Amino acid sequence: MPKLTSLLLNVGHALDHLFLLIFATAVGAIALDFGVRRWEDMMPFTVGAFVLFGIGSIPAGRLGDLWGRRRMMVVFYVGMGLSGLLVAATQSPWQMAVALTLMGAFSAIYHPVGIPFLVQRSKTPGLTIGINGLAGNMGIALAALSTGFWVQYFGWRMAFVMPSLLSLVCAWLFWRHAPQEASAPAKKNNTSVHLPKNLAIRTLLVMIGSAITTSVLFNFTTNGNAQLLAERLQGLVNEPVMIGALLACMYAVASFAQVAVGRLIDRVPVKPLLFSIIAAQAVIFLLAANASGWLWYAAAILYMVTVFGAIPFNDVMVVRYIDDSLRSRVSGTRIAVSFGFSSLVVYLLGPMVKQQGFATLMLVMSCVAALGALIVLWLPGEAQMRMARQS
């Protein structure tokens, strides 16, 4: 993969996550501008974006395999740029909901298309996915940092305008410089992965189950951390720029976990490594539930390390156990189920915090992590996979 193309694909991952979290970071300012009394009452208006981010992955993955991943990535960059400008122009909560939903439809393209495009020739897929995950999470960190800056000095609309312009520039560069595909992935005749049907189905079910719990925790934390930080550090930190900087620091530190996990995935068995990370999530969320001040902030960094550290596994399992001609469609199905389910989290986040508080929310996250650890125990081991292939 040419270096510029790899760079643009990683930037695309950063933009994908950045766009989806601008609203969560700026929701207080947006609610004030739209005349909504509490920020919690604005959160349900973003649910459409996350629903489309999930279910839109199925047609996006299908088009990636059958029409071409290069073409779909150009559509992604252009669509994100134009929909981001539309969000910046909204004047009411319902207009915002429609514009965010459109953005969610375009954001659905990246994961089932961009990641298979990036790893299709990689000899170290774990590391490649880890670096790509780092880029995506740096987008989350940048969303926190840049949104706090734009909100404080130029208004929340500029927080959408600037990355939209960057996305349109990336579209032009990708169209000009990304290598042409000889044929769509589904039309290639080579088969790179051989796996018995029973283990393939079992692995797919584990992938979907663990993806659901992982994405639930991802959406709970990334959409709720800004307001949670403001609550737990109340009296210590108040300015939007400082809150954004602390969030960005949290995400930046946690993001490097994906690179470390990516290197480990290429060297050690997947099952015990993934189980250890998810089990650690359950413990850390439980400890963080009633913490406050800087002690909570330290715990938050640790639980984000485990949340981000668990992300590469499902993409790596797709690379290891699914043939390249099917990867975009399988990834799209997995993402549609997991994010379609976890989009309810975004809808419930505001009402749950309003009624029960963040302490209860974090106890729920601990239980979700424990469920995820139990699901991972059903994943076939490396030795079982090798024996199945040989038989």
- pLDDT tens for the chain, 391 residues: list them: 778 999 999 999 999 989 988 887 788 888 888 888 777 778 778 878 878 888 888 898 888 888 888 999 999 999 999 999 999 999 898 999 999 999 999 999 998 898 888 887 777 878 888 888 888 878 877 887 788 788 888 888 999 999 999 999 999 999 999 888 766 676 665 555 556 667 777 888 888 888 888 888 887 887 777 778 888 887 777 677 787 788 878 888 888 888 888 888 888 888 889 899 999 999 999 998 888 888 989 999 999 999 988 888 877 777 777 766 777 888 888 777 777 676 666 666 666 666 777 778 888 889 989 999 999 888 877 666 666 555 5
Per the listing, tokens 């960057």 go with 166
Q: Which pLDDT score, from 0 to 100, does residue 195 have?
A: 61
Helix (H) or strand (E) holding 180: none
Q: To 10 degrees, what angle do helices 270-288 and 358-376 make? A: 160
The count of other CB atoms within 10 Å of the CB of residue 151 is 23
Task: Go through 62-82 and write b for each residue having 16 or more CB atoms within 10 A of its CB, e for each that does not.
Answer: bbbbebbbbbbbbbbbbbbbb
First to last CA, the chain: 35
Q: What is the rounded CA–CA span in Å between residue 265 and residue 273?
A: 8
Q: What is the rounded CA–CA span in Å between residue 250 and residue 374?
A: 28
Residue 11 and residue 167 in contact, taking contact as beta carbons nearer than 8 Å = no
Q: Which pLDDT score, from 0 to 100, does residue 31 have?
A: 87
Q: What is the rounded CA–CA span in Å between residue 59 and residue 212?
A: 19
Residue 148 and residue 241 in contact, taking contact as beta carbons nearer than 8 Å = yes
- Written as one letter, the residue type at 389 is R
Q: Which pLDDT score, from 0 to 100, does residue 309 have?
A: 87
Q: Which pLDDT score, from 0 to 100, does residue 76 have?
A: 96
Q: Which pLDDT score, from 0 to 100, does residue 109 have?
A: 94
Closest CA to 335 of 246, 232, 218, 244: 218
225 burial class (0-12, 13-18, 19+ CB within 10 angstroms)? buried
pTM: 0.74
Closest CA to 239 of 145, 163, 142, 140: 145
Helix (H) or strand (E) holding 179: none
Per the listing, tokens 């424990």 go with 370
Residues near 36 by beta carbon (within 8 Å), at least 6 away in sequence: 42, 93
Q: Which pLDDT score, from 0 to 100, does residue 184 have?
A: 66
Q: Which pLDDT score, from 0 to 100, does residue 66 have?
A: 84
Instruction: For residue 388, give the 3-state DSSP assignment.
Output: helix
Question: Quick one: CA dihedral 283, 284, 285, 288, positive or negative?
Answer: positive
Distance, CA of 81 to chain centre: 18
Closest CA to 43 of 300, 366, 362, 343: 343
Residue 20 and residue 52 in contact, taking contact as beta carbons nearer than 8 Å = no
> What residue ranges define each of the domains in the chain, with the CATH number in brackets?
3-179+191-390 (1.20.1250.20)
Q: Which pLDDT score, from 0 to 100, does residue 371 have?
A: 93
Q: What is the rounded CA–CA span in Å between residue 299 and residue 278?
A: 15
